């Protein structure tokens, strides 16, 4: 049975505050990333069918997040967050208020201060949130505007994001030991090929086969084609001497073309983020970068490129 989610929502009118306590089934670093990177915030912050759309984000003390809540009809309500204090993976505070598309404050609507604390509790993360308002009238106005319902729905979006996109991280690598593998791209027949390799090497898949339909829908993209949903997103197979063969389908529906020359990469998994960045920068010098190294939806720090000699590489750092 799935563990119940901790969710406490209290309105403290005596101190003009809203206090929220919420648990998430993921480590602190993953939950922190989901709250502090625009690409992920855009996927869960708004209650469906609304979406969040970032115009700019600079997550640092003195930085800002300027975004819009967008209705299905395209109506946009703008807001701006001014970051005050940041203790990485532990705490951040910010001023949050409504504005226009240029970032000019809307003084007719309330502004409030957020204080978010992130705490490890077993395999979960507890986020304690305190929203402070200048006046009781401001607090009550936000409540009347449906803050509790909207924020609750957004947090449920985040649960779905963690369940689907961070699950790969927990399944596929349970330690930080460095390893090298070969990564194969196929035009749609990955499962057939890997079943063949499985028979030849008398081995078995690590954690089965993950498929594209397991990835959550991106509100900014059209729905995934039915022909893609059952394709292989990721599969791993041990072969000889501890070497891992990995593979994925590269759907033409995503604008991908597989041919001899781009259908295989050397996949490096270093022991640290710093080493991943060094390897990416030095190996890709003079080459062609396919995907700049960055934090990806499955919880890895990842990038890919072809070096100046025409060899394809992937750099994939995944913390425990």
pLDDT of 65 > 50? The answer is yes
| CATH code, domain carrying 291 | 3.10.180.10
- Tell me the mean pLDDT in the region 78-82: 97
Pair 159, 271 in one domain: no
Strands 179-186 vs 244-249: parallel, antiparallel or unpaired: parallel
pLDDT attached to residue 179: 74
Note whether 124 and 24 are within 8 A (CB). Answer: yes
Within this chain, do residues 102 and 178 fall inside the same structural domain, yes or no?
no
Residues 52 and 188 in one domain: no
Q: Please give the average per-residue pLDDT across 60-75, as a whole number.
A: 95
One domain, residues 196 and 119: no
Domain membership of residue 278 (yes or no) is yes
Kindly state whether residue 2 falls inside one of the protein's structural domains. no
Span 12-40, mean pLDDT? 91
> Order of strands across the sheet with 111-121?
7-12, 17-24, 124-133, 111-121, 91-99, 76-87, 64-70, 51-57
Domain co-membership, 238 together with 135: no
Task: Examine residue 49 and state whether it is found in any structural domain, yes or no.
Answer: yes
Q: Which of 165, 186, 221 finishes a domain?
A: 165
228 and 117, same structural domain?
no
| Boundary of a domain, candidates 165, 194, 214 | 165
Residue 217 predicted with pLDDT over 70: no
Domain annotation covers residue 289: yes
Could you give the CA distance from residue 266 to residue 277 in angstroms, rounded to a whole number? 16
227 and 106 in one domain? no
Please write the tens of the pLDDT for every residue from 137-164.
999 999 999 999 999 999 998 888 777 5
Confidence band, pLDDT 50/70/90 cuts, at residue 177: low
For residue 149, the enclosing domain spans: 7-165
pLDDT of the residue at 9: 96
pTM of the shown model: 0.57
Same domain, residue pair 221 and 286: yes
Indicate the number of domains in the chain.
2
Rounded-to-integer distance, Cα 195 and Cα 235, Å: 11
112 within domain boundaries? yes
Position 147 scores a pLDDT of: 94
The residue among 165, 187, 205 that closes a domain is 165
Q: Are residues 264 and 288 in the same domain?
A: yes
Q: Are 90 and 117 in contact (CB under 8 A)?
A: yes
CATH number at residue 155: 3.30.530.20
pLDDT value of position 1: 34
Domain assignment present for residue 131? The answer is yes
> Are residues 114 and 63 part of one domain?
yes
Q: For the residues of 203-241, what is the DSSP string, one character each?
A: ---SS-EEEGGGSPPPTTSPPPPHHHHTSEEEEEEE-ST
pLDDT band at 39 (very low <50, low <70, confident <90, very high): confident
Q: Would you state the structure tokens that stand for residue 235, as one six-digit string?
A: 């599969």
Could you tell me if residue 81 is inside a domain? yes
pLDDT tens-digit series, residues 260-284: 666 788 888 888 899 999 999 999 9
Same domain, 90 and 211: no
57 and 198 in one domain? no
Mean pLDDT across 219-231:
76
Q: Output the CA–CA distances (angstroms, integers) from residue 73 to 51, 53, 149, 222, 301, in the order listed.
A: 11, 14, 20, 16, 35
């Amino acid at each position: 049975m799935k563990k119940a989610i901790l969710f406490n929502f209290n309105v403290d009118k005596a101190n003009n505050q809203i206090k929220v306590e919420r648990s998430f089934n993921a480590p602190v670093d993953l939950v922190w990333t989901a709250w502090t990177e625009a690409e992920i915030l855009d996927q869960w912050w708004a209650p469906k069918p609304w979406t969040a759309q970032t115009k700019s984000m600079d997550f640092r003390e003195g930085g800002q997040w300027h975004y819009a809540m967008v209705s299905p009809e395209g109506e946009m309500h703008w807001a701006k967050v001014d970051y005050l204090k940041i203790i990485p993976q532990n705490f951040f505070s910010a001023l949050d208020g409504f504005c226009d598309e240029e970032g000019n404050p809307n003084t007719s609507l309330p502004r409030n201060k957020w204080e978010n604390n992130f705490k490890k509790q077993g395999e979960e993360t507890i986020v304690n949130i305190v929203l402070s308002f200048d006046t009781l009238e401001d607090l009550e106005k936000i409540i009347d505007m449906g803050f509790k319902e909207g924020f609750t729905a957004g947090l449920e979006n985040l649960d779905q994001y963690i369940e689907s996109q961070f699950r790969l991280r927990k399944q596929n690598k349970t330690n930080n030991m460095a390893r090298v593998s070969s990564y194969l791209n196929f035009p749609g027949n990955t499962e057939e090929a890997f079943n063949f390799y499985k028979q030849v090497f008398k081995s078995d898949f690590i954690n089965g086969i993950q498929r594209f339909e397991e990835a959550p829908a991106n509100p900014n993209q059209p729905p995934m084609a039915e022909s893609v949903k059952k394709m292989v997103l990721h599969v791993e197979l041990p072969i000889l001497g501890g070497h891992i063969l990995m593979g994925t389908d590269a759907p033409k529906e995503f604008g991908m073309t597989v041919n001899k020359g781009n259908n295989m990469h050397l996949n490096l998994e270093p022991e640290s983020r710093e080493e991943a960045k060094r390897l990416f920068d030095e190996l890709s010098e003079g080459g062609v970068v396919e995907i700049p190294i960055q934090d990806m939806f499955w919880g890895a720090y990842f990038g890919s490129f072809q070096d100046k000699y025409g060899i394809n590489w992937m750099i994939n750092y995944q913390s425990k």
